[in-house]
Amino acid sequence: MINLKINGQDVQVPEGTTVLKAAEQTGVTIPTLCEHADLHPYGGCRMCVVDVKGWRTPMASCTMPVNEGMEVETHSPAIEKSRKTILELFMSNYHDSNYENGQKEETQFIRWVKHYGLDPQASMAPIPRQQVNSDANPFVWVDLNKCIQCTRCVRACAEVQGRFVWSMAERGFDTHPVAGADTDMLDARCESCGACVAYCPTGALDNKMSMGAGKPDKLVRTTCTYCGVGCQFDFNVKDGKIIRVTSTEEAPVNGNHLCVKGRYGYDFVQHPDRLSKPKVRRYLLEGGEKSHHTSAWDWVETEWDTALDVAAKKLHSTRMEHGADKIGVLTSAKCLNEENYLMNKFARQVIGTNNIDHCARL
């Protein structure tokens, strides 16, 4: 264990802990932008700098390990002035064309801008330097006018999703993220998982499906239905409709990580063609001859018990007349692992066939 002082308070933390993490354990919040608990420390934004006794210059707390006897000051007047200056420099190169419209909840970056007394509208660059919506990806909105070169998108793509789509190009004032060899995201083998969006602190990367939807009325924590992994996320609900999905660090299975289906495949929930009750062919309920050319072939709504009885009778009669291998079972990746196990038992032991498949197709 290492003993140190943070703002005059004695602190004891394990060896290898960074100053930032040590401060968090004492309840001290140090501003950060490029740092994220899921990602390798970068130390690029310089918002987390602190004064360390005996050191000539302020040090980035996210990359600096604690040392025995270290004395740290996290919010001295000089440090606070430095952070405000850093935000002013970021804002001089930042432009949000839709800021006045309040498109969504405030980003981490804008919250710190306001915390340090800056007016985002007055302090941002007057005109954009980059094309808005500059990538053809159907799910990810790219507006590099809001980028602060924190590289969280680069690290998230590499460390969380393992696709290595993003990298940094150019130098100095012109530094910016590029996909692949400065191509579009899909050509760079992007899987559209949205990890870069989830970790971006400024909104330079956003969900294209949600642009213009506004702020949600509430968040609803739920479990994804697309497979049996059990990923959790928050539905952003406005006027009774889902306008966006946001991942959450509190999800025990996946954290901030989601696949393209989980993050962007929610439009089926409120699609007008979605069935809310089971349907069967009319002739199965009312009798009569099966014919494709009469109303007997029409779909009609019915109750679940009735639909299940119809399905059970047809499966039984087909098995008895034609044999078990004339029946195939198609299960769903939206089911739990336990439910798919039961479907497997149903196919092989109840029906007596090995004809079983699933719909897990990306």
The residue ranges of every structural domain in the chain are 2-75, 106-215, 219-274, 279-357
pLDDT at 269 over 60: yes
Q: What percentage of the chain exceeds 70 in pLDDT? A: 98
Residue 117 is predicted with a pLDDT of 95
The hierarchical CATH code for the domain 2-75 is: 3.10.20.740
Q: Give the pLDDT mean for 192-219.
A: 94
Specify the pTM. 0.84
Q: Give the pLDDT mean for 208-234.
A: 91
Residue 333 is predicted with a pLDDT of 75
Q: Which of 112-121, 132-141, 291-300 has the lowest mean pLDDT?
A: 291-300
Distance CA 338, CA 188 (A): 37
Helix (H, G, I), strand (E, B) or coil at 356: strand
> What is the assigned CATH class of domain 106-215?
alpha beta
More confidently predicted of 307 and 358 = 307
- The tokens for 357 are 């498949």
pLDDT in tens, 103-126: 667 899 999 999 999 999 999 999
Handedness of CA 168, 170, 175, 179 (dihedral sign): negative
Residue 100 is predicted with a pLDDT of 57
Architecture of domain 219-274: Single Sheet (2.20)
Q: Give the pLDDT mean for 25-31.
A: 94
DSSP 257: -
The count of other CB atoms within 10 Å of the CB of residue 96 is 23
DSSP 276: S
Evaluate whether 206 touches 109 at the Cβ level (below 8 Å): no
- Torsions phi, psi of 286, nearest 5? -105, 0
pLDDT at 19 over 90: yes
Q: Give the pLDDT mean for 201-227.
A: 92
Q: Which of 122-126, 233-237, 283-287 has the lowest mean pLDDT?
A: 283-287
Evaluate whether 2 touches 17 at the Cβ level (below 8 Å): yes
pLDDT in tens, 309-357: 999 999 999 999 999 999 999 998 778 788 889 999 999 999 999 999 9
Residue 337 is predicted with a pLDDT of 82
Residue 84 is predicted with a pLDDT of 97
Helix (H, G, I), strand (E, B) or coil at 25: helix
84 HSE (CA, 13 A, CB side): 13
Distance CA 167, CA 348 (A): 50
- Per-residue CA distances from 255 to 160, 225, 252, 276 (Å): 10, 16, 6, 31
DSSP 53-101: TT-SS-EETTTPBP-TT-EEESS-HHHHHHHHHHHHHHHHT---TTGGG
| Mean residue pLDDT across the chain | 92
pLDDT in tens, 250-265: 999 999 999 999 999 9
